[in-house]
Structure 1
Amino acid sequence: MSEQKRLFFAITLPEESRQSIIQWRADTFPAEAGRPVAAANLHLTLAFLGDIGEEKTQALMQQAGRIRQQAFSLTLDDAGHWPRSGVVWLGPKQSPRGLLQLAELLRSQAARSGCSQSPLPYHPHVTLLRNATHPVSLPPRNFSWSLRVERFALFQSVFAQGRTRYQQLADWALTQERV
């Protein structure tokens, strides 16, 4: 039996955006609002795979490598709080079609490979704070980060020494639009 790894497909944020978001979060939310997600861990999940073995991982990586989809632009200009899961998030008011298509493709491939997928509709977001179980006052909607999404990646969630780190295992380029 091969060792199981906790995996997910995601979009990484450019370093510049991550630093800017971290600063904005510090200026916007009080320390007691929740536990801040480390800058290096900021990402936008496309499909959560759960704990899977090497064989299934290889199959999903092969399928991901066959995806032919155009790069797209994404604007993070909305925020919210899910009190039940204790998450404060940042996301797009309007999800670009490319993002929804990519997530749907990865989620359906994962489901066909036996990775259970949430029955809830896909809600693209970047988790800013965890353990935010008390009401959090959300900022006025006067913030926005725009990024060009040209790649997506497979990550492993590694829990060690009381911390969760996300380790990138592989990544794939999206196709560039023809001019």
Structure 2
Amino acid sequence: MRLFIGLAPPADARAAIARERDRLHAQTGGRPSSDANLHLTLAFIGASTPQALQRIRKMLETMPAVPFALTLDCAGDFRRGGIVWLGSSTPAAALLALADAVRAGLAAADVPFDPQPFAPHVTLLRKGQPVREQLAAPISWLVDTLVLYVSESTEAGVQYRPLYQRLLAAR
């Protein structure tokens, strides 16, 4: 199982992100991410065992976290791989704190994860041309759910399927 922990946009935000993906696809080319795969990764775990899966679920169940607003207001790219993404010009402190808490929880649960610095983004395209711009209409949503995903290879391509979801509690 290839696992990661992320945030899934609700339907209205997902539709707005998909419209930006389509607009940027016309501008930069590349291979678009499917609507169902649009998400923001907090921690990439990769190959995992059933025992590690249980530790991850327990960590997510007990980790303190509260809902917060997330706004995507810019588009950019990672030159390696031609990844075109949406992100925040000023990431919310609550988003950065949640990513830190998830990564600290994984470390405490002895679950290896990709140690690359957290770069909050929603991947829109692969193998696209470079882009840097502010969005005319920022996309916002209330983050109220953490999702543990499994990445599965299918004939239709890679699909991300939720294995576990946890609502964030209000204070």
User: Cα RMSD between the aligned structures?
Assistant: 1.7
Aligned position for 1:103: 99
How much has 1:138 moved relative to structure 2? 3.9
- Whether 2:164 is the aligned partner of 1:167: answer no
How much has 1:85 moved relative to structure 2? 2.6
How much has 1:137 moved relative to structure 2? 3.8
How much has 1:175 moved relative to structure 2? 1.4
Does the CA-based 8 Å contact 1:76-1:146 persist in structure 2? Answer: yes
Question: For residue 14 of structure 1, what is the amino acid of its counterpart?
Answer: P
How much has 1:25 moved relative to structure 2? 2.3
Aligned position for 2:20: 24
- Identify if the C-alpha distance between structure 1 residues 62 and 24 changes in structure 2 by more than 3 Å, giving closer, same or farther: same
Gaps of 5+ in 1: none
Aligned position for 1:54: 50
Structure with greater proportional helix content: 2
Q: Which residue, 105, 112, 116 being the options, matches 1:115?
A: 112
Aligned position for 1:41: 37
- Identify if the C-alpha distance between structure 1 residues 138 and 176 changes in structure 2 by more than 3 Å, giving closer, same or farther: same
Question: For residue 99 of structure 2, what is the amino acid of its counterpart?
Answer: A
Moved over 6 A (4+): none
How much has 1:127 moved relative to structure 2? 0.2
- Whether 2:76 is the aligned partner of 1:80: answer yes
How much has 1:26 moved relative to structure 2? 1.6
Q: Which residue, 68, 71, 87 being the options, matches 1:91?
A: 87
From the CA coordinates, give the structure whose radius of gyration is larger: 1
Q: Which residue, 5, 9, 12 being the options, matches 2:5?
A: 9
- Identify if the C-alpha distance between structure 1 residues 143 and 114 changes in structure 2 by more than 3 Å, giving closer, same or farther: same
How much has 1:101 moved relative to structure 2? 1.3
TM-score w.r.t. the length of structure 1 is: 0.87
1: CA distance between counterparts of 2:133 and 2:107? 36
Gaps of 5+ in 2: none
Deviations 1:35-55 (A, max 9, x none): 000000000001111100000
**Identity fraction in percent:** 32
